[in-house]
């Protein structure tokens, strides 16, 4: 799909964005343009990928439509991983979240139409389902903008779709780096609630399924990636065990419950029961079709989804042993 093509990845130095870049590079694209506003992250990624001569590093913000338009010239595919993602940060700075997650996405849509991009795939989040915080509300609106773009693009052929998934293990801002820092320092591991559950997957898994969704996309869909759930307290215990087995001494801190933060949920949802009405599934993902066009006749290997919500309460839950295996597999422990 990407061989000899020009690909733009916005937010391309982030955890998911940079993994999408690494995955696309394996398919011999003509060039990958990495677009982000953080010059330090760009420098470090440039050092990591210095053997590749088909990468361009572009400083810019998706809020800046003119800069974005220059970056998107002659581009075949766009992946948008740029967003304000931290729930408390968005809660206290809602207008900033709107500028990036809503207005920035609209800029991307208009630039994609302007340059007749083949496909624009945006990364979304489980926080959009029944949103109770600013981050979720802005990302839900961005999903709606992207879905609707398929119907006002005029004669252009651009396909717009979203990929929705939960937390990514080890990504920037995830609890794993925080817990590890607390454990190393011998401090209490701060847990918001002992019954809190979250969807969880690895960074490589997330990027792989994003590219699969890009290949399948016809326009207007939301791809919901299937993933296991875990209790956050089990993740903390797994990291403590990893620390103790690695350093050979007992962790003397404790797990301290500090309360749910503003805008935070006890459990997360990836698909509502209403969305399931127009959804199809295979072993890896659900496809929620557009409310305007729910035809999925061209999708091979998908069956009608069950009429039920998909939440971290009713999904398969990882055991503590499963979590420890994942931490070891992806080198996320100590």
Residues assigned a catalytic role: 127
Torsion over CA: 323, 171, 27, 286 (sign): positive
Tell me how far CA of residue 118 lies from CA of 163, 218, 299, in angstroms: 17, 11, 19
Per-residue burial over 176-198, b = 16 or more CB atoms within 10 Å of its CB, e = otherwise: beebbebbeeeeebebebeebbb
What is the C-alpha to C-alpha distance for residues 186 and 182, in angstroms, rounded to an integer?
Answer: 6
Nearest by Cα to 291 from 151, 101, 170: 151
Nearest of 107, 295, 39 to residue 122 by alpha carbon: 107
Question: Cα–Cα distances in Å, from 256 out to 180, 193, 236, 273?
Answer: 15, 9, 11, 35
Per this entry, what is the length of the chain?
334
Is the Cβ–Cβ distance between 120 and 78 less than 8 Å? yes
Q: Residue 80 is encoded by which pair of tokens?
A: 């948008």
HEC states along 292-326? CCCCCCCCCCCEECCCCCEECCCCCECCHHHHHHH
- Closest C-alpha to 12, from 68, 91, 92: 68
Q: Give the closest residue to 166 by CA, choosing from 128, 134, 131, 220.
A: 128
């Amino acid at each position: 799909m990407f061989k000899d093509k020009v690909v733009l990845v916005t937010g391309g130095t982030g955890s998911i964005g940079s993994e999408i870049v690494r995955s696309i590079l394996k398919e011999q694209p003509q060039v990958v343009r990495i677009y982000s506003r953080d010059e330090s992250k760009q420098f470090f990624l440039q050092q990591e990928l210095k053997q590749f001569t088909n990468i361009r590093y572009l400083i810019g913000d998706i809020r800046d439509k003119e800069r974005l338009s220059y970056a998107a010239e002659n581009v075949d595919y766009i992946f948008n991983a740029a967003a304000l993602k931290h729930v408390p940060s968005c809660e206290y700075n809602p207008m900033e979240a709107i500028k990036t997650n809503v207005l920035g996405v609209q800029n991307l849509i208009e630039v994609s139409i302007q340059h007749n991009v083949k496909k624009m795939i945006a990364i979304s989040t489980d926080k959009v389902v029944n949103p109770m915080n600013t981050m979720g509300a802005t990302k839900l609106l961005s999903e709606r903008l992207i879905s609707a773009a398929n119907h006002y693009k005029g004669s252009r052929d651009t396909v717009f779709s979203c990929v929705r998934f939960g937390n990514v293990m080890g990504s920037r801002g995830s609890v794993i780096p925080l817990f590890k820092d607390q454990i190393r320092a011998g401090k209490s591991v701060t847990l918001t609630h002992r019954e809190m559950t979250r969807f969880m997957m690895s960074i490589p898994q997330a990027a792989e399924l994003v590219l699969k969704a890009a290949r399948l996309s016809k326009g207007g869909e939301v791809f919901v990636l299937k993933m296991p759930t875990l209790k956050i307290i089990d993740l903390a215990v797994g990291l403590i065990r990893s620390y103790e087995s690695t350093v050979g001494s007992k962790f003397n801190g404790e797990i301290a419950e500090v309360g749910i933060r503003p805008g935070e949920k006890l459990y997360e949802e990836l698909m509502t029961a209403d969305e399931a009405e127009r959804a199809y599934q295979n072993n890896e993902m659900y496809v929620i079709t557009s409310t305007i066009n729910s035809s999925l006749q061209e999708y091979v290997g998908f069956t009608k989804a069950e009429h039920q919500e998909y939440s971290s309460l009713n999904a398969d839950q990882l055991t503590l042993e499963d979590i420890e295996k994942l931490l070891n597999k992806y080198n996320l422990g100590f």
